[in-house]
């Protein structure tokens, strides 16, 4: 290879370097890459097809393989290790509003009884909500309250603290801090029904128009 | 003190221009400390060897010229000016043995420390942002694999969600008295009672609006509530077989009458 | 190896096989995995920590590296190949100067209260700035400071370390120099009574505590 003036005639990077490049591209890409895709991104004079062959043998027998997918190349878990990834598939869903509110009340007021949660929320707490939080192991039963009926109380778990990155439930910011951080909305105008406006995503204009003159 | 260059006596054109440049740019400063740090750069020495006295004079001259140009300065700039004027007097006068409190030197050393620390943090921030960053310079797996046959639902919520939920509840709590303001609510029970009383005298088709009580036909909020309750009451009575409802077209006025024979 | 009935009595797989397993899991996950995450999915008796060490040296100098992120481990492309991967770049939200400085102050002074951040910057920290950093999950709440008012503190997250390619907060650039120069000390303003940190069983040591183990 001659060190000519035309950049395309510069020596291509050594094959070990080309192999690194191909490895990084295949790793980072969301889609399989064709040899032409690789070549388009690499410096002139590179030979991605050859680099692929080196890479393929380097990964032979490893935990991940270089495989052909259609007319492209991709890295995939070795088929015999698929069982390791079975627990991986988690569907993440946003916690319902009832659940997050119930959870917040338990976190801030623990130990707290179901009646107290309902008192603060202003609506009944469905059994499903409590069950869900118990099931997620974010809350657990606390000591029974020594009041008539000896109701059970709920407290948050270590798992809860871990998920929310808290050292203890006492680290939760207080109301004054929430307000300072702008998390408490300013006072609603008197006469306005507090619940309706912020919470209703669906505009209520349609309905009210019926009644407007 | 070389701070004479900022005195009002004989400012050269360049000096005035420099001063104005600073003032015009006052919005570009994040408060007095930021401005002091910028001024300190003009001393061209290590921040550890900076002359705080000179800096105080520069700052006071800056505030003075801002006033001369009638630039509004935020209160914290003026507070800093007052404090620096005090510091300057402490530095210039021989220490008064009867006076308590920190010496001028201590105060000056602390200001120098604050400036050095701010400068250091800015430098650190710049170095941090200049690092190789994920998604810019290095990358995670582009196609993470999750070839599981078992599915597990994981519910997501972050601390902000939790705090916001609680804040929302507590805000509502504080204003509960307002939430239950009933002055402008015409209750369904009242509407049922009223409609029940008027129905025997309504053999002919009559518009729903006519059944709204006195005092509930004007203000929109009251009218809306009365209309809703009255309409709900007609549905209830229709269900009981006491009246009939009629509406000519979508959104057309609703008419009602006593059910013949009822 | 006896074909026994109790699977926990099987000998652990050979180290080469454990290395493959760890490799497969780390390739499959975009997020860092902890040794405990790895161990939880591997057969009894495995030693993922040792497997990680083997894997790390295997990938040294390659196009993809094994990196440490806080308590976790992840595969990441080698930084020198960033130029090849422009196609994968993600647009990041532009951070304001205030946000960048606040982030740096939290990183270098953590755990740090809002008042301390304001003291260092000389201006109030807007609520939006803290919110944005929380939202990006680069900072989180730390332990409350045991001083009057028990203010909340902020610390940086693993996501922060991951984003900036740091193994731990100890590796922040220039940290040792800043500390040696006393610029990370909390120095009370002269004449002001020093904060009553001393009464606390966990006195505030800031970043310096990171150097003590």
User: For residue A51, what pLDDT is reported?
Assistant: 95
Tokens coding C105: 């102050």
- Hey, what are B152's tokens? 């597990």
Domain assignment present for B52: yes
Cβ of residue A176 closer than 8 Å to a chain C Cβ:
no
From the CA of B141, how many Å to the nearest CA of chain C? Answer: 6
Residue A161 lies in a domain: yes
The count of domains in chain C is 2
**Choice among B158-162, B193-197, C97-101 with the minimum mean pLDDT:** B158-162
Q: Does A178 touch chain C (CB under 8 A)?
A: no
A186 or C114: whose pLDDT is higher? C114
Asked whether residue B38 is assigned to any structural domain, the reply reads: yes
Cis peptide before C25 (omega within 30 of 0): no
Q: C102 to chain A nearest CA, in Å? A: 15
Cβ <8 Å between C21 and A63? yes
Query: Residue B2: is its pLDDT beyond 60?
Result: no
DSSP assignment of chain B: -GGGGGSSSS--HHHHHHHHHHHHTGGGS-SHHHHHHHHHHTT-S-GGG--HHHHHHHHHHHHHHHHHTT----HHHHHHHHHHHHHHHHHHSPP-TT--S--HHHHHHHHHHHHHHHHHHHHHHHHHHTS--BTTTB---SS-----SS-EEEEE--HHHHHHHHHHHHHHHHTHHHHT--TT---HHHHHHHHHHHGGG--S-EEGGGGSPTTSSSSHHHHHHHHHHHHHHHHHHHHTTSEEEEESSTTPPEEEEEPTT-
CB B190 within 8 A of CB B216: no
- What pLDDT tens digit does each residue of chain A (213 aa) get? 444 445 555 678 999 999 999 999 999 998 889 999 999 999 988 999 999 999 999 999 999 999 888 888 999 889 888 888 765 455 677 888 889 899 999 988 888 999 889 888 888 888 888 988 998 888 999 888 888 888 899 999 888 888 887 777 777 877 677 777 666 554 443 443 433 333 333 333 333 333 333
Cβ distance A76 to B143 under 8 Å?
no
- Domain identity same for C123 and C176: yes
Domain-embedded: residue A158: yes
Whole-angstrom distance, CA of residue A149 vs CA of residue A147: 6
- Find the CB nearest C85 among A28, A84, A165: A28
Whether C213 is in a domain gets the answer: no
Same-domain check for residues A108 and A174: yes
Q: What confidence score (pLDDT) does residue A66 get?
A: 92
Encode pLDDT of B107-140 as tens digits. 888 898 999 999 999 999 999 999 988 888 899 8
Burial (0-12, 13-18, 19+ Cβ within 10 Å), B71: middle
pLDDT of C153 over the 90 cut:
yes
- Does B41 map to a domain? yes
Contact residues, chain B, for A30 at CB < 8 Å: 142-143
A55 plus A26 within the same structural domain: yes
From chain C residues 1-60, the ones with a CB under 8 A of any chain A CB are 19-25, 27-29, 41-42
Residue B235, in any domain of the structure: yes
Residue A192 included in any domain: no
Look at B144 and C107 and tell me if their CB atoms are within 8 Å. no
Question: Does residue A110 share a domain with residue A140?
Answer: yes
Question: Mean pLDDT over all residues of chain C?
Answer: 84
Task: Determine whether the interchain pair A77/C27 forms a contact, defined as Cβ–Cβ distance below 8 Å.
Answer: yes
Choose, out of B138, B142, B217, the residue to mutate when testing the contact with A (most A CBs < 10 Å). B142
The reply to whether A63 and A134 lie within a common domain is no
**Contact assignment for A173 to C141 by CB distance below 8 Å:** yes
CB atoms B162 and A103 under 8 Å = yes
Residue A156 lies in a domain: yes
CATH number assigned to the domain comprising residue C67: 1.10.10.10
Mean pLDDT within C47-69: 95
Contact between B144 and C174 using a beta-carbon 8 Å cutoff: no
Tell me, what's the pLDDT at B124? 93
Residue in chain B closest to A163 (alpha carbons) equals B158
Work out the percent of chain C whose per-residue pLDDT is above 70. 85
Distance in Å, alpha carbon of A1 to nearest chain B alpha carbon: 31
User: ipTM of the assembly?
Assistant: 0.63
- Tell me: do C114 and C49 sit in the same domain: no
Residue B150 confidence (pLDDT) above 60 = no
Q: B116 and B207: one domain?
A: no
Is residue C203 situated within a structural domain? no
**B24 touches A: beta carbon within 8 Å:** no
Stronger pLDDT, A64 or B20, i.e. the higher one: A64
CATH number of the domain to which B218 belongs: 1.10.10.580
A177 CB within 8 Å of a chain C CB: yes
- The half-sphere exposure of A66 on its side-chain side, counting CA atoms within 13 A, is 22
Say if residue C113 is in the same domain as residue C75.
no
Q: Same domain, yes or no, for A26 and A73?
A: yes
Question: Are residue A105 and residue A161 in the same domain, yes or no?
Answer: yes
Cα distance from A162 to chain C (closest Cα, Å)? 12
- Residue at a domain's end among C34, C50, C79: C79
Chain B, nearest residue to A211 by Cα: B224
How many B×C Cβ pairs under 8 Å? Answer: 133
CB contact under 8 A, A21 and C63: yes
Q: For residue C209, what pLDDT band results from cuts at 50, 70 and 90?
A: very low
Q: How far is CA B158 from the centre of its chain?
A: 21
Full domain range(s) for residue C157:
97-181
Say yes or no: B252 contacts chain A, CB-CB below 8 A. Answer: no
pLDDT band at B103 (very low <50, low <70, confident <90, very high): confident
**Per-residue pLDDT at B11 exceeds 80:** no
pLDDT by residue (tens digit) across C93-111? 788 889 999 999 999 999 9
Confidence (pLDDT) at C4: 44
- Do the Cβ atoms of C72 and C34 come closer than 8 Å? yes
- Domain count along chain B: 2
Question: Is residue B25's pLDDT more than 60?
Answer: no
Q: What percent of chain B has pLDDT over 90?
A: 9
Subunits with 3+ Cβ pairs within 8 Å of B are A, C
Chains touching C by CB (3 or more pairs below 8 Å): A, B
C211: confidence class by pLDDT, cuts 50, 70, 90: very low
Asked if the model's pLDDT at residue B32 lies above 70, the reply is yes
Size of interface A-B (CB pairs under 8 A): 156
Domain coverage including residue B112: 21-95+103-129
pLDDT of residue B146: 59
Q: Hey, are the CB atoms on B102 and C191 less than 8 Å from each other?
A: yes
Among the partner residues B150, B178, B220, nearest to A86 by beta-carbon distance = B150
Among C52, C79, C106, where does a domain finish? C79
Does some domain include residue C108? yes
Lowest mean pLDDT among A65-74, C32-41, C193-202: C193-202
Q: Is the pLDDT of residue C15 over 90?
A: yes
Q: What is the pLDDT at residue A195? A: 38
- Residue in C with minimal Cα distance to B36: C122
| Banded pLDDT at C20 (limits 50, 70, 90) | very high
Does residue C207 lie in a domain region? no
Lowest mean pLDDT among A1-10, A165-174, B7-16, B162-171: A1-10
- Considering the domain architecture, whether residues C161 and C132 belong to the same structural domain is answered as yes
Cβ contact C24–A167 (<8 Å): no
């Amino acid at each position: 290879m001659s060190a000519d003036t035309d950049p395309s005639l510069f020596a291509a990077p050594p094959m070990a370097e080309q192999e690194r490049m191909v490895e990084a591209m295949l790793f980072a890409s969301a889609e399989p890459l064709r040899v032409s895709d690789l070549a388009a991104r690499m410096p002139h004079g590179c030979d991605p097809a050859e680099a692929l062959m080196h890479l393929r043998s380097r990964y032979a027998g490893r935990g991940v393989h270089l495989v052909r997918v259609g007319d492209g190349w991709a890295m995939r878990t070795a088929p015999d290790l698929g069982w390791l990834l079975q627990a991986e598939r988690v569907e993440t869903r946003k916690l319902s509003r009832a659940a997050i509110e119930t959870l917040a009340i338990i976190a801030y007021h623990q130990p707290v009884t179901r009646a107290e949660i309902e008192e603060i929320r202003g609506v009944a707490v469905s059994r499903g909500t409590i069950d869900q939080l118990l099931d997620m192991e974010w809350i657990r039963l606390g000591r029974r309250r020594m009041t008539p009926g000896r109701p059970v109380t709920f407290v948050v778990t270590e798992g809860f603290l871990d998920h929310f990155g808290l050292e203890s439930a006492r680290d939760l910011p207080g109301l004054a801090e929430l307000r300072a951080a702008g998390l408490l909305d300013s006072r609603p105008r008197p006469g306005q029904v507090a619940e309706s406006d912020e919470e209703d995503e669906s505009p209520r204009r349609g309905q009210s128009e019926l009644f407007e003159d | 003190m070389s701070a004479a260059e900022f005195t009002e006596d004989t400012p050269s054109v360049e000096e005035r221009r420099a001063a104005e440049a600073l003032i015009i740019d006052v919005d570009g400063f994040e408060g007095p400390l930021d401005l002091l740090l910028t001024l300190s750069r003009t001393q061209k020495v290590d921040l550890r060897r900076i002359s705080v006295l000179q800096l105080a004079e520069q700052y006071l001259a800056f505030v003075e010229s801002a006033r001369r140009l009638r630039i509004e300065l935020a209160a914290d700039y003026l507070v800093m000016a007052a404090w620096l004027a005090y510091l300057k007097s402490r530095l210039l006068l021989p220490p008064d043995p009867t006076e308590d409190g920190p010496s001028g030197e201590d105060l000056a050393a602390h200001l120098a420390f604050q400036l050095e620390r701010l400068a250091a943090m800015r430098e650190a921030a710049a170095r941090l942002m200049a690092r190789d960053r994920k998604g810019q310079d290095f990358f995670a797996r582009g196609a993470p694999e999750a070839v599981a046959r078992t599915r597990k639902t994981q519910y997501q919520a972050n601390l902000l969600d939790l705090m916001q939920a609680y804040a929302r509840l507590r805000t509502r709590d504080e204003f509960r008295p307002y939430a239950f303001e009933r002055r402008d609510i015409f209750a369904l029970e009242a509407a049922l009672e009223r409609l029940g009383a008027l129905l025997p005298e309504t053999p002919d088709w009559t518009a729903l609006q006519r059944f709204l009580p006195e005092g509930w036909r004007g203000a929109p909020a009251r009218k809306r509530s009365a209309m809703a309750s009255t309409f709900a009451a007609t549905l209830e009575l229709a269900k009981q077989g006491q009246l009939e409802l009629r509406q000519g077209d979508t959104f057309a006025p609703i008419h009602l009458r006593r059910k013949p024979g009822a």
